[in-house]
Every structure is written in structure tokens, then in C-alpha cells.
């Protein structure tokens, strides 16, 4: 159903002179410092319609903000208008049908808490203050993904405001091609003002993390690889190379020093959890830090929030990779050891399972056969020169480019059209281009990992 609306704006319109403007323009990545002409803080779909009309009247560039967690800061623009969806916090859980309707200002921590009140969840990301909207539209990879697929795989419908101000309710029956594109094509096709998700029963989770001294990283990475190669889909694994924080659970001699570890979560029979996790605790001898146990799902989802605090200045590189050989693991360990900032880190997530069950052409997220995903994060302090950490991030990423088989659109910096094309196979990109040409021929929604319309669209 499509409804054209000429709505009055009932939200809050901020200009650079307005109280709260500076707070409203801040995004997760503290390296981003942009000053829009207007920030339209929307409360309803009608407010989004009115905000887009304002942008059309004044020929303003449009940025769309959900959770504000876009790595390159696409959530805010210089001189244009930000459609700020953060006030839209509605969550409706239907335990009987195991579905949820979620508005675009909701974070994963908020959604997880609401769903877990009924013992339910849908696959989310790794950081609980990430927004539901952006993560889902780009795919959505997290702890539950090997068991229940991506966030976008569990998306069953949306309410969307188009570039022309129409409000469209979309599902697989009404517009299957648009639903295909919304499952991984990013924010190229409109502003989603409500998401409908499928939910799954999820109880307390056997899992956690173990750490070893950083010099044992090659052994830890091999164990991660070998366990993951035979792991059932119920087991989710991430290898981590980080700096140990000055926390009570960290032995004094390891605080502030490099450590390598394996994070795990088991979503199968709880009675099998201890047996499935025991190799992580025993194969390499006793870990220096052992935090494996049983934890609430929300605690799992929040377990690495401290590694990516709001306002952190960060440069990120990421790829999907084929299976690692020993030389590739050694290269990853060697480069990771050269990081200098205590928050810089390298993650290696095991994919497969339910992610790979979906045919590659069934969603715009198409790199279903990859074995791993790297996330390499270089961090620097306010006022510091980022050059060294940026260079470390790129060198670490480049060390295993020979294994790359595409990249994750949600982890891209502002890297140009060639890297956006790496996020999609050629046939997928062509189909996305056709969809963009139909929905947004003027490329109104271009402040994103952009899929341009066909040149002859207008």
C-alpha cells in the first residue's frame, strides 16, 4: 500500500544556533565532525515525509541517521539536512507469533532487552549501542547468525518513506524485488520507519571468552580455525587480538599487554554447552584468563561494548575471507602485534551455518560462502595524529587480501565505488542499480555506501 502525505512536521528542527545541536550532530565515530544546516528529529513517518520535502524545496543533501553508528559517519553531512530517526523508539513484541515491529531509532541493546523479556531474540550485531536500522539494511552479522542467519534474513516487512515522500508498506508479497534489495543493499532505497522481524527462542547462553598472552596468538588462531572447521551451527566463534584492560579479572602481569583469545557462544542444548566449549579451555593448556560460563543473552550482546565506546576515533578495514592457511594466520598474528593504541584490535569471526544456507541470489547480501570475516580497528586519541594507526590498519588488512572474497558493506569506510562493488557480485550490483533507478532515480539517498542509479535515469 502506498500513501502520499503532505504532512506538517511535528518533530524538532535544529539549526546550528539551536540548543542541543552539537549533541545531535555527534555520531559514534569521534573522527567525524560535520555540521549540517538542519537536523530534523523525527517522531513519525509523517515527520520523515515533511523533512524530505524541506530538503527538496531547498535542494539540500540528505543524510539519514538511525543509531549513528555508521563507521564513515554517513549519519551526518556538512551543510545539508539530517533526517534524524533517533527519537523513534517504538518496539512491539508479539510472543504468540514470535514477531517484532521495531522503529528505526532503536538500538540492539534496547531491542534485545524487549525481546528477551519474552525469551526471544533475532540475530543482531556485536555492539549493543549499534542501531537496528543500519545494521539490518546492510546485512547484520552477530552471535546468532550461524544459528538463525543474518538480521536481514529475519526481516519480513518494512514501512518505507520513498524519495518522493510516499509511505510504502513492503513485504515479499507486495514488492519482492524491493525486499530483496532491503536485505543487504543499505539505505539506498528510502527511509525505513518500521521493521518487522521474525524472533527465535533464546535462553541463557553457555559462552564467554578465554585469553592467552599475546605471543601465543599463532596457536590461538590455529585453534580457532580448527574448531570452527568442524563446529556445528549452534557454536559461534570469534578470535580476538586485543590489549588486556586494567580490569579486576585480568592478572596484574597482563594488564596493558597484548592478549589473544577465543570468544564463543553455544545456542544448542544447554546440557551440551560445557562439552562443546571445553576444547577452548583445554587444548592449549590453562588460559591466563578464563571467562567461560553461562550468561544472559543480553550480557553476551553487551560483552564487547567497552572495546568500541561512543566517540572513539577509529579507522576500520574488513573483508570476507576464504579458509586460512598457516601462513595467513601467522601474518595476521604478526601484524596485529604491531598495534600501539590499547583500543586497536583485530577480530576474526567464523561464518557459515545458517548464513550459508541462503542462496546467494536470494538477498542483496550475497557473499554467503565466505569462511571468515576480519574486522581490523585502528584507534587514536583526541588531538593525536591518526596516520600511524591508519597505516597499521591498512597493512594488517592487506596482509591477507589474497584470501578476500568480497567485503561487508556495513564495515566499509568511505572507500569509493570500487570497494562498494566488492560488497556485491556483479549481477547483484546490476540488480541493485535497476532497483535504485526505480526507487530513487535522482539519488536523493546518496550519503551512504551508494548504489548510483543508471546514468540515463533522469
The CA–CA distances, whole Å, from 212 to 38, 70, 215, 246 equal 49, 32, 8, 16
Give which of 182, 178, 105, 129 is closest to 151, Cα–Cα. 182
CA atoms within 13 A on the CB side of 267: 26
Condensed to tens digits (0 to 9), the pLDDT of residues 393-407 reads 999 999 999 999 999
Q: Which residues contact 202 (CB under 8 A, 6 or more apart)?
A: 116, 119, 120, 121, 144, 267, 297
Secondary structure letter of residue 119 according to DSSP:
T
What is the pLDDT, as a whole number, of residue 1?
46
Domains of the chain in start order, with CATH, are: 10-84 (3.30.43.10), 91-201 (3.30.465.10), 205-411 (3.40.462.20)
- Helix intervals (H) in 139-198: 145-148, 176-182
Contact call for residues 192 and 436 (beta carbons, < 8 A):
no
Containing H/E element for 257? Answer: none
Task: Please tell me the predicted confidence (pLDDT) of residue 458.
Answer: 57
Output the CA–CA distances (angstroms, integers) from residue 345 to 119, 308, 341, in the order listed. Answer: 32, 10, 9
Residue 7 confidence (pLDDT): 64
**E-assigned strands of 199-336?**
200-201, 205-213, 235-243, 258-266, 289-290, 293-295, 313-321
Cβ neighbours for 247, distance < 8 A, ≥ 6 positions apart:
255
Residue-level length of the chain: 458
- 351 with 320: CB under 8 angstroms? yes
**CA dist., res. 392 & res. 405, Å (int):** 22
- Which parts of 344-445 are beta strand (E)? 345-350, 372-380
Reading the block at residue 85, the C-alpha cell is 530517526
Cell of 335: 601484524
What proportions of the chain, in percent to the nearest 5, are helix, strand and coil?
30, 25, 45
Q: Which of 300, 293, 268 is nearest to 113 (CA)?
A: 300
C-alpha cell read off for 408 = 561487508
Q: Which of 161, 157, 159, 192 is nearest to 7 (CA)?
A: 161
pLDDT given for residue 311 in this prediction: 96
Query: CB-based contacts of 448: which residues, under 8 Å, 6+ apart?
Result: 64, 74, 186, 187, 188
289 touches 254 (CB < 8 A)? yes
d(CA 74, CA 78): 10
CA 15 to the chain's CA centroid = 29
Which stretches in the chain have pLDDT values below 50?
1, 3-4
Q: What pLDDT does 456 receive?
A: 78
Strands 81-84 and 62-65: what pairing?
Answer: parallel
Judge contact between 36 and 79, C-beta under 8 A. yes
Q: What is the pTM of this model?
A: 0.96
CA separation for the pair 398, 319 (Å, rounded): 10
Q: Confirm if 350 and 236 have CB atoms less than 8 A apart.
A: yes
Cα dist. 386→157, 229, 374 in Å? 41, 37, 21
Phi, psi (degrees; rounded to nearest 5) at 268: -95, -155
Amino acid at each position: 500500500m502506498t500513501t502520499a502525505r503532505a504532512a506538517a512536521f511535528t518533530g524538532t528542527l535544529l539549526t546550528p544556533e539551536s540548543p542541543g545541536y552539537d549533541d545531535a550532530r555527534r555520531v559514534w565515530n569521534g573522527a567525524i565532525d560535520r555540521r549540517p544546516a538542519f537536523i530534523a528529529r523525527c517522531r513519525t513517518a509523517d515527520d520523515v515525509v515533511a523533512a524530505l520535502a524541506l530538503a527538496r524545496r531547498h535542494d539540500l543533501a540528505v543524510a539519514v541517521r538511525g543509531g549513528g553508528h555508521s563507521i564513515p559517519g554517513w549519519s551526518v553531512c556538512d551543510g545539508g539536512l539530517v533526517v534524524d530517526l533517533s527519537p523513534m523508539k517504538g518496539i512491539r513484541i508479539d510472543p504468540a507469533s514470535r514477531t517484532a515491529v521495531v522503529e528505526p531509532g532503536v538500538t540492539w541493546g534496547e531491542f534485545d532487552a524487549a525481546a528477551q523479556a519474552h525469551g526471544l531474540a533475532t540475530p543482531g550485531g556485536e555492539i549493543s549501542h549499534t542501531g537496528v536500522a543500519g545494521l539490518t539494511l546492510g546485512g547484520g552479522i552477530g552471535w546468532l547468525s550461524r544459528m538463525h542467519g543474518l538480521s536481514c534474513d529475519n526481516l519480513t516487512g518494512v514501512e518505507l518513506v520513498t524519495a518522493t515522500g510516499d509511505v510504502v508498506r513492503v513485504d515479499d508479497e507486495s514488492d519482492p524485488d524491493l525486499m530483496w534489495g532491503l536485505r543487504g543493499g543499505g539505505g539506498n532505497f528510502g527511509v525505513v520507519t518500521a521493521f518487522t522481524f521474525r524472533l527465535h527462542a533464546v535462553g541463557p547462553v553457555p559462552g564467554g571468552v578465554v585469553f592467552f598472552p599475546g605471543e601465543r596468538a599463532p596457536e590461538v588462531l590455529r585453534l580457532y580455525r580448527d574448531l570452527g572447521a568442524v563446529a556445528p551451527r549452534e557454536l559461534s566463534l570469534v578470535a580476538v587480538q586485543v590489549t588486556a584492560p586494567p580490569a579486576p579479572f585480568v592478572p596484574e602481569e597482563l594488564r596493558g599487554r597484548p592478549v589473544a583469545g577465543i570468544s564463543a557462544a553455544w545456542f544448542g542444548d544447554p546440557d551440551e554447552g560445557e562439552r562443546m566449549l571445553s576444547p577452548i579451555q583445554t587444548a592449549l593448556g590453562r588460559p591466563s584468563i578464563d571467562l567461560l560460563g553461562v550468561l544472559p543473552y543480553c550480557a553476551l550482546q553487551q560483552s564487547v561494548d567497552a572495546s568500541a565506546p561512543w566517540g572513539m576515533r577509529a579507522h576500520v578495514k574488513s573483508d570476507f575471507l576464504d579458509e586460512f592457511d598457516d601462513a595467513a594466520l601467522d601474518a595476521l598474528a604478526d601484524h596485529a602485534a604491531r598495534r600501539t593504541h590499547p583500543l586497536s584490535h583485530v577480530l576474526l569471526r567464523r561464518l557459515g551455518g545458517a548464513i550459508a544456507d541462503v542462496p546467494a541470489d536470494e538477498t542483496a547480501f550475497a557473499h554467503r560462502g565466505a569462511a571468515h570475516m576480519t574486522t581490523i580497528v585502528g584507534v587514536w586519541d583526541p588531538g593525536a595524529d591518526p596516520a600511524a594507526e591508519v597505516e597499521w590498519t591498512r597493512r594488517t588488512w592487506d596482509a591477507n587480501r589474497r584470501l578476500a572474497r568480497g567485503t561487508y558493506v556495513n564495515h566499509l569506510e568511505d572507500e569509493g565505488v570500487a570497494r562498494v562493488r566488492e560488497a556485491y557480485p556483479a549481477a547483484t550490483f546490476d540488480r541493485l542499480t535497476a532497483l535504485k533507478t526505480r526507487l530513487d532515480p535522482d539519488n536523493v539517498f546518496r550519503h551512504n555506501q551508494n548504489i548510483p542509479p543508471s546514468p540515463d535515469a533522469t
